[in-house]
Structure 1
């Protein structure tokens, strides 16, 4: 099923309604759709390098708006949000993400929104955890813009063959950031003598 969806999304990238389709896929991916918009963004930028920044902007705007829908599902429709986390293999996602938000705050959105981790998990969990909505919007805009404009830049300059390397580097950089955060928070924990619990991995 995922392969059929992937092929369908790729076919949309070649259609004359590609920008509208890119907006729709980017919006849906932030709350429920399983295929990331990168698979449309890359061939569209390759076909029209002069529109690379326009396409990246479409992805960013639609992804943030879709993220608002994901946040609303978690915040206002908690049972549905929990069910969606469960069917995507994150049955304990609510407690896990809430723990991360309590300890790391906005860094959770910044780190996870930049990496290949499904962003819908972040948006729904943000609503479930009742994370600050203004901060959610700011962090989502920053992290999604960074991701999509970087993808557009790489494809425009080097072609799609570089994308897997960039994705690996994004995950690496986000991992280093999280590691530094954990080290800093652990140090403050011991220096301050607090007794907070650890989140699940």
Structure 2
């Protein structure tokens, strides 16, 4: 008990003004999270989801025998203070049961296939030409072919972005929304890289024209 209290005091010194730790009990697991008195129950439940992986829409939170249901209420008004222990009830998110999440995951696999074309096909060959490993008389034709391949890569990325944009999710499908956001960001980064490779090809074309 002394060590636990000491840990709380140590952690509180690292937190911002007004912040304090509370303990989440979910099954056999216990998690310490940092909250503030002005945090609403809704925001707290979203935070709980990030730790326990129980969707905030299906959580049941018990505190001192009470079921907390007013999502607009602040933790202060609910008397959830420093060191409070809250029991979290609910099933963890299972991606296999979410068709929306699976649709995004399938598109993500397609992104990996296109990325392989870029990283194992186009980029190494461009680097070989830039390094002088290819006969100069063949470089012009090779660069033209690589430019077409890169155009195909970008077109596939664009189609995948359109597919992601066309997916419709319920408000409760937070994980699917987050997964889509991460895949969109991944595609955007790959397209930026593709643009850089395209610029490199253009520079090499001037050299071998």
Q: TM-score, normalised by structure 1?
A: 0.29
Structure having the higher Rg = 2
Q: Select the structure that is richer in strand.
A: 2
Q: TM-score, normalised by structure 2?
A: 0.28
Q: Which structure carries more relative contact order (alpha carbon 8 Å, separation 6+)?
A: 1
Q: Select the structure that is richer in helix.
A: 1
